[in-house]
């Protein structure tokens, strides 16, 4: 018996069960099905347009509770949210103007509606994740109410509640205050339940067979912080999401993973037997040392793309930075799987402790972008270091920039594209050292290397040497076509901004 031979009421029920993810494919099978599903298709298109991308538009900044109210009013909304943006970047003035307009339009003040609040509470009390985490539902509701008393206040309990309702979410931008959220291992008892419930949601997503499990389709985490010296949050804040089997991409800004017992914020992977499925990590304006990145990449066996830009953070966190040890750490844990790599510097107050000296531990590397400065320090294997804790083994000759080898000798034979950024004209001496033998290296060993770009800031003094070496010079003008900081010179940073946004500069 064909579908169209079924009684109309049964066929309608089957179509209803395909909403939202399967109705389009089913209705296009034949004209008969399309005609029978016309009403559902119309509803589907309206709901998709309204909810597919969801962000804060209410009269209060960061009003996630209103999203819970919207789902209470129409539970279908939760099924349609695929991209969720919880970082409300409206100014207080913009929100105030929205509030005045909303008052004129008769905006629904659900907080004053006793029946609406009862309905939201009832929805929350029935959450499976609270029972799974062993959390008292009344206590959870009280925390939601307490954090929603004041305008413009962080609402992590409300956020986790919302996430527990979204089975088809694919892309998530967390609220700005999320960087203050902590995992159950490092908080006081009063706040542990937040992490316990989030862990319960992740566990349910990974192990539940029901296709409607929350976060079962989440693939991408987007940036949720500004860049800047004083902007900082622990990379630990996103660790729970990296346990999801569905996760594939992490884009982050201003995250810290440094355990210096002073200005840093440590990172630790809480479940050593659980590996992440992530394949792409891009970290801009971040502050991470070799140990910090090891703590993450030790658990990312499928990583293909890794891009990182370093920034010294508040109170001089990583004032000196060690790209040599950092590159070696990346290579140790993911060198055999990475095909695209970028290591650049957004802002460094101090010295390069050790320079990068080899990429041979990346045997399948095809695309590489680096700042010239990451080579400007003694190699790790020399035993020497620069910076505030500088050291030179007894009897050793101090390292100088004249000791920098040709970059061609550092590259694996798999390399197809190399981009190098040079910010200071005085670095031309180092540039000549790095490319002194590049023609010979390309002829003998780097036969796949098709494109080599040297990018110079606000000038072209290196053009003759670059072109004589068979390379391409690009000039990055920080003032044209629009004002942009020097830190946007790397091509990968501009691609980051075009792809996911988030490289915004707090004023």
The predicted-structure confidence for 394-422, as pLDDT tens digits, reads as follows 999 999 999 999 999 999 999 999 999 99
Count the domains in the chain: 3
Of 210 and 135, the structure prediction assigns the larger pLDDT to 135
Residue 208 pLDDT grade (very low, low, confident, very high; cuts 50, 70, 90): confident
Whether the predicted pLDDT of 201 surpasses 90: yes
Of 89 and 308, the structure prediction assigns the larger pLDDT to 308
- Whether 269 and 377 share a structural domain: yes
User: What is the pLDDT, as a whole number, of residue 250?
Assistant: 99
Coil vs helix vs strand at 389 = coil
* DSSP result, 27-95: HTS-HHHHHHTHHHHHHHHHHHHHHSEEE--SSSTT-HHHHHHHHHH-THHHHH--EEE------HHHH
Q: Is residue 11 part of a domain?
A: yes
Mean pLDDT confidence for 364-384: 98
CA distances from 403 to 128, 227, 399, 447 (A): 62, 34, 7, 26
Domain stop point among 218, 243, 274: 218
Q: Is residue 505 part of a domain?
A: no
- Whether 100 and 186 share a structural domain: yes
Domain stop point among 188, 218, 248: 218
CA distances from 503 to 34, 131, 253, 284 (A): 44, 39, 7, 8
Q: Is residue 393 part of a domain?
A: yes
Q: How many CB atoms lie within 10 A of CB 155?
A: 22
Residue 507 pLDDT grade (very low, low, confident, very high; cuts 50, 70, 90): very low
Distance CA 493, CA 346 (A): 10
Supply 356's token pair.
């990068």
- Whether 195 and 232 share a structural domain: no
Find the helix or strand (DSSP H, E) in which 333 lies. helix 323-334
Q: Is residue 13 part of a domain?
A: yes
Domain stop point among 218, 235, 258: 218
**How do strand 305-311 and strand 280-288 relate by DSSP bridges?**
parallel
Q: 229 with 263: CB under 8 angstroms?
A: no
- Whether 78 and 46 share a structural domain: no
- Whether 155 and 228 share a structural domain: no
Q: Is residue 478 part of a domain?
A: yes
Q: Is residue 415 part of a domain?
A: yes
Given its phi and psi angles, is residue 344 left (phi above 0), alpha (psi -120 to 50 degrees) or beta? beta
Whether the predicted pLDDT of 495 surpasses 80: yes
User: What is the pLDDT, as a whole number, of residue 375?
Assistant: 98
Q: 214 with 81: CB under 8 angstroms?
A: no
- Whether 324 and 375 share a structural domain: yes
- Whether 15 and 59 share a structural domain: no
Q: Is residue 506 part of a domain?
A: no
Mean pLDDT confidence for 181-185: 55
User: How large a percentage of the chain has pLDDT more than 90?
Assistant: 75
User: What is the pLDDT, as a whole number, of residue 177?
Assistant: 82
- Whether 171 and 271 share a structural domain: no
Q: 457-489 pLDDT, tens per residue?
A: 988 999 999 999 999 999 998 666 566 789 999
- Whether 69 and 180 share a structural domain: yes
Q: 287-325 pLDDT, tens per residue?
A: 999 999 999 999 999 999 999 999 999 999 999 999 999
Range of the domain at 125: 52-218
Going through 89-213 in order, the beta strands assigned E by DSSP cover 171-173
Average pLDDT taken over every residue of the chain: 89
> Lowest-confidence range among 21-30, 102-111, 265-274?
21-30
Supply 129's token pair.
């994740």
Comparing CA positions, the residue from 306, 320, 302, 198 lying closest to residue 258 is 320
- Whether 208 and 226 share a structural domain: no
């Amino acid at each position: 018996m064909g579908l169209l031979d079924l009684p109309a009421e049964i066929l309608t029920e089957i179509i209803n069960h395909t909403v939202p993810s399967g109705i389009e494919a089913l209705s296009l099978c034949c004209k008969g099905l399309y005609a029978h599903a016309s009403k559902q298709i119309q509803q589907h298109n309206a709901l998709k347009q309204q909810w597919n991308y969801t962000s804060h538009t209410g009269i209060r900044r960061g009003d996630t509770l209103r999203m819970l109210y919207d789902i209470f009013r129409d539970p279908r909304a939760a099924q349609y949210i695929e991209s969720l943006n919880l970082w409300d970047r409206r100014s207080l003035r913009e929100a105030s103007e929205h509030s005045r307009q909303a008052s004129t339009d008769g905006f629904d003040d659900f907080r004053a509606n006793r029946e609406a609040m009862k309905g939201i509470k009832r929805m929350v009390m029935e959450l499976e994740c609270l029972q799974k985490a062993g959390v008292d539902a009344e206590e959870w509701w009280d925390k939601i109410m307490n954090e929603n008393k004041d305008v413009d206040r962080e609402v992590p309990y409300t956020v986790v509640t919302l996430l527990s309702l979204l089975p088809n979410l694919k892309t998530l931008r967390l609220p700005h205050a999320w960087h203050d959220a902590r995992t159950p291992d490092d908080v006081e008892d009063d706040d542990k339940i937040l992490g316990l419930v989030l862990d319960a949601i992740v566990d349910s997503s990974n192990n539940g067979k029901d296709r409607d499990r929350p976060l079962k389709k989440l693939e991408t985490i987007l940036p949720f912080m500004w860049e800047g010296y004083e902007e900082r949050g622990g990379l630990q804040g996103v660790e729970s999401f990296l346990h999801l089997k569905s996760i594939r991409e992490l884009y982050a800004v201003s995250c810290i993973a440094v355990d210096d017992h002073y200005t840093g914020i440590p990172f630790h992977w809480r479940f050593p037997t659980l590996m992440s499925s992530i394949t792409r990590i891009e970290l801009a304006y971040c502050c991470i040392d070799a140990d910090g990145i090891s703590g993450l990449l030790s658990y990312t066996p499928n990583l293909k793309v890794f891009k990182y830009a370093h920034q010294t953070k508040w109170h001089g966190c990583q004032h000196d930075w060690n790209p040599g040890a950092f590159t070696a750490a990346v290579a140790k844990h993911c060198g055999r799987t990475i095909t695209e790599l970028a290591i650049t510097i957004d802002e460094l107050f101090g010295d390069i402790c050790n320079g990068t000296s080899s990429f041979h531990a990346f045997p399948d590397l095809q695309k590489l972008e680096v700042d010239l400065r990451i080579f400007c320090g003694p190699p790790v294997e020399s035993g020497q270091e620069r910076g505030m804790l500088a050291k030179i083994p007894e009897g050793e000759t101090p390292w100088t920039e004249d000791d920098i080898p040709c970059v061609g000798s550092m590259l694996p034979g798999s390399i197809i594209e190399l981009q190098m950024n040079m910010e200071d004209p005085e670095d031309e001496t180092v540039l000549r050292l790095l490319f002194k033998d590049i023609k010979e290296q390309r002829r003998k060993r780097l036969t796949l290397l098709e494109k080599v770009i040297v990018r110079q800031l606000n000038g072209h003094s290196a053009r003759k040497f670059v072109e004589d070496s068979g390379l391409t010079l690009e000039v990055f003008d920080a003032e044209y076509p629009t004002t942009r900081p020097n830190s946007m010179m790397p091509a990968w940073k501009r691609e980051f901004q075009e792809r996911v946004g988030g490289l915004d500069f707090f004023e």
